[in-house]
Amino acid sequence: MKKRILLVAALQLLITLNSCSSDSGSDPVPTPTPPVVVVKKAKITSFSKNSGETGETVTISGENFSDKVSDIKLTFDGVLATIVSSTTTEIKFVLPATVKVIPKIALTIKDNVADNDVKNNYEGNIGILPTRTLTDWVVQENNLKYDGAESNFQIFSDKILYMGGASRTLDGGLTWTPWGSGGFSSAFHATINDEGWSSSFGATRIAKIKGGGSLVDDAFASIENNNETYYCMYVDDNMKDGTVVTQSGKVFTTSNGANFTKVYELGDNTGNLFQSTTIDNNHIWVIGLKGIKDKDGFTLKRPFILFKNNTTDGWKEYPFVNEAPGYVAREICFVDSQNGFLLINYYNQTLLDVKLFKTTDGGDSWMPIYNNEKFTKFAFKDANIGWAVLENKIYKTVNGGTTWTLDYTNDQNIGNITYKNNVVWAFSIDKIIKRYL
C-alpha cells in the first residue's frame, strides 16, 4: 500500500512538471520596437533667378531634397517641369510653357509637399515668359487687363515699358506697378531714372514723379493758373529742361524744372490737340484738329499739327487745308528727327476713309501714301518697316507704308501697338503680343 501511494505521488509530480514546461514554452517571443524614423520637411529657400523664359534652366535651392530625380515632382499650375538633376540641397529643372505668366509653383519630395520660404515680387513663384523667337509673334498673358487703346507709351528696354501716366512694367509684362498720378490716357514723360512728369487732377496740373513711380509734388509748377488739359509732356533726364503743351495749343517751357514760360500759343483758340510724340526738347509734334479758313472764308475744323523740329525755327503749324472738315490727325510716329508717319481719320472714327501720311523733313511737308485698310494704330521701326492694327489683326509694311500684308491674327481686338529696341509690343485685353527683331 505504501508503495502504491508513493507511485501516485510521483505520477502527480511528473504531470505538474510537464504542465509547467508546456506553459513556459507557449509564451510569445517579445518583438523588438522599430527605430523611429524622422522625415525632415523639405524647404525651398531661393531660386537662381526669379523669372525666365520657357526652356531656360533654373536651380531651386533649399533643404532636405533628394538626390534621386524619381523622388521629385515639380509643377507650375499643374504643368510638370523636367528635372535635370538633384541633390539634397539643389534641384535643376527646365521652365515649362504655362498659360499664366506667374504660375503657382508646387514641389513634392517622395509625395511630401515642400515648404516655400522664398520672398520675391512673384509671391514666392517664378515668372515665365514665352520663348523668344525671331521668326514669329509670341503671346503671353496680359494680367494688366487693359489694351492700351487710349495710352501713349515709353519703352526703355525689352523689359521696361511705361503705359500712360498710370502704370509700368520692369520685367517684360510679368507684373505691372503704378507709376505717375494720372490715368492710362493722361500725358506723361518718364526719364531713364524712373522719374518724370505726369498730368493729374483732371490732367490740368503737372505732377513731379520720383523714382519708383510715386508722387513727389502735385502741381509743382504754377503755369498762368492754367486750367487746360495737358496732352504733351517732355522732360530731360536732369528733370529741369522740359516742355508741356495744352489742349488748345499753349506751349510752356522750363530750364530749371520749376518756372515755366509761355513760348507759343495758337491765336484763334480753335485748336483741339490730344495726341503727341516727342524725341527731345527740340523735336515735338502735337496733333488733333483746328479751325482752318477755306477759300470761301469759312472756318471749319480740319487735321492739324503743332510742332518743333529743330533748334532754330521755333514752333510751327501745319494745317491740312485739303482734307475734308470733320477729319482729325489721330496717330503720329517719328522714327527719327526727319522720318515720320501720321494717321488721319474721321473725328468720331466711323468707317470712313482713313489716310496714312508720311514726312521726310521733320513734318514741314506731308504726302499721302495709303488709304485702303482702316487702321486705328500703328508703329514703325524705321522709314520702311512698320506695323498697323485693324481690329484683331496686325499688318506689316516693308516699303514705308505704301503696301501692307497681314502678319498676325489675334482672338481679340488689339487696342494699341508700339515699337522700340527691336521689340514690337501689341496689347489686347487678355494678351500681350510681341515680335522680336
- Per cent of the chain over pLDDT 90 is 74
Q: For residue 186, which amino acid is it?
A: S
**CA atoms within 13 A of residue 109's CA, in its CB half-sphere:** 22
Question: For the chain, how many helices (H) and strands (E)?
Answer: 1, 39
First to last CA, the chain: 125
Predicted confidence (pLDDT) per residue in 135-152, tens digit: 999 999 999 999 999 999
Measure Cα distances from 398 to 98, 194, 385 in Å: 33, 34, 4
Which residues are CB-neighbours of 400 under 8 A, at least 6 positions away?
A: 358, 369, 383, 384, 386
Beta-bridge partner residues of 432: 140, 427
Contact (Cβ atoms closer than 8 angstroms) between residue 383 and residue 400: yes
Question: Mean of the pLDDT values across residues 273-288?
Answer: 96
pTM of the model: 0.88
Query: C-alpha grid cell for residue 263?
Result: 513760348
- Per cent of the chain over pLDDT 70 is 89
Average pLDDT, the chain: 90
Question: Mean of the pLDDT values across residues 7-20?
Answer: 47
Question: Mean of the pLDDT values across residues 363-371?
Answer: 96
| Domains of the chain with CATH codes | 43-129 (2.60.40.10), 138-436 (2.130.10.10)
Query: Which tops the pLDDT comparison, 79 or 345?
Result: 79
Contact (Cβ atoms closer than 8 angstroms) between residue 95 and residue 81: yes
Query: Which tops the pLDDT comparison, 227 or 89?
Result: 89
Confidence of residue 23 (pLDDT cuts 50, 70, 90): very low
Identify the top-confidence range among 33-42, 119-128, 174-183.
119-128
- Give DSSP secondary structure letters for 105-171: EEEEETTEEPEE---STTTT--EEEPPP-SSS-EEEE-TT----TT--EEESSSS-EEETTTEEESS
pLDDT of residue 364: 98
Q: In the chain, what's the furthest Cα-to-Cα distance?
A: 165
Query: Is residue 20 scored above 90 in pLDDT?
Result: no
Least confident of 4-8, 337-341, 398-402, 432-436: 4-8
- In whole angstroms, give the CA distance from residue 435 to residue 53: 15
Query: Is residue 227 scored above 90 in pLDDT?
Result: no
Predicted confidence (pLDDT) per residue in 28-46, tens digit: 666 776 665 556 899 999 9
Query: Which tops the pLDDT comparison, 39 or 239?
Result: 239
pLDDT of residue 21: 47
pLDDT of residue 316: 97
pLDDT of residue 39: 65
Query: Is residue 9 scored above 80 in pLDDT?
Result: no
Report the DSSP pairing between strands 161-163 and 167-169: antiparallel
CA angle 69, 70, 76 (to 5 degrees): 75
Query: Is residue 3 scored above 50 in pLDDT?
Result: no
pLDDT of residue 13: 45
Least confident of 161-165, 219-223, 339-343, 385-389: 219-223
Least confident of 200-209, 218-227, 230-239, 397-406: 218-227
- In whole angstroms, give the CA distance from residue 357 to residue 367: 5
